[in-house]
Amino acid sequence: MNASAKPLAIHDLTVAYQDKPVLWDIDLSVPTGVLAAIVGPNGAGKSTLIKATLGLMPVAAGTVEMFGQPYAKARRMVGYVPQRSSVDWDFPTNALDVVLMGTYGQLGWIKRPSKADREWALHCLEQLAMADFAQRQISQLSGGQQQRVFLARALAQRAQLYLMDEPFVGVDAVTERAIISLLQQLRSDGKTVICVHHDLDSAPEYFDWVALLNVRMIAAGPMKTIWTPENISQTYGGRTQSLIRGAA
């Protein structure tokens, strides 16, 4: 690991879906230790950016480096929280088991989780106030609890950089507070967090760094300098200015 290398550096990234560009010529460099939000309207390519970064979809052009290495070599330093709706929560398993999946990457092929891994997974659930639900079948958890299980799973990855796809969508107030305190804990531990976020009101409150995206990268940098009405209006095509309250 190169200590001076940025957690995430994207150069000239273009992603197309059936000949239609979803992301166009993206440059993004995220510094260590920030809580970064990727903000933009529906169809701006926010989730696509996360997925392309993780090699989950083919890219037409460009490079992605994490800690100065391609993702395939940096995997173990990266944690991922997919959208909650991306899986079938009726799958026959319990919360602890899902969190244990976060240790699979470090375990590698064939090897099974040990007792120590189970204790670690339980500890991760505790961090999100979910220890009481460890043995609960996942379909019997509320939406917010399911989201906390997903975050605990990412925590179990022991990563340096976390990529989260809409962690705040459809969660209750308790979960929202739990996620915020987790994010702050991660930042104070020197980790880097990048979240896809769609709520303009809460973005400047929760995050200290922002990337404004609408197919192209409109602006990216510290929240204080980037979060301006002009930039936001440019990102949203000038349509939603009245919705923006938090802007400087």
Footprint on this chain of another protein (rule: CB under 8 A): 18, 51, 54-56, 72, 75, 78, 80, 82, 86-88, 91-94, 98, 101, 104-105, 107, 109-113, 137, 139, 153
- Spatial contact of 77 and 66, defined as CB atoms under 8 Å apart: yes
- Closest separation between CB of residue 89 and another protein, Å? 10
Compare residues 72 and 173 and give the one whose CB is closer to another protein.
72
Compare residues 153 and 191 and give the one whose CB is closer to another protein.
153
Task: Name the helix (H) or strand (E) containing 115.
Answer: helix 115-127
Compare residues 22 and 78 and give the one whose CB is closer to another protein.
78
- Closest separation between CB of residue 228 and another protein, Å? 34
DSSP states along 168-237: TTT--HHHHHHHHHHHHHHHHTT-EEEEEE--TTTHHHH-SEEEEEESEEEEEEEHHHH--HHHHHHHTT
Compare residues 24 and 104 and give the one whose CB is closer to another protein.
104
Terminus-to-terminus CA distance in the chain, angstroms?
A: 38
Q: How far is the C-alpha of 30 from the C-alpha of 51, rounded, in Å?
A: 16
- Spatial contact of 136 and 94, defined as CB atoms under 8 Å apart: yes
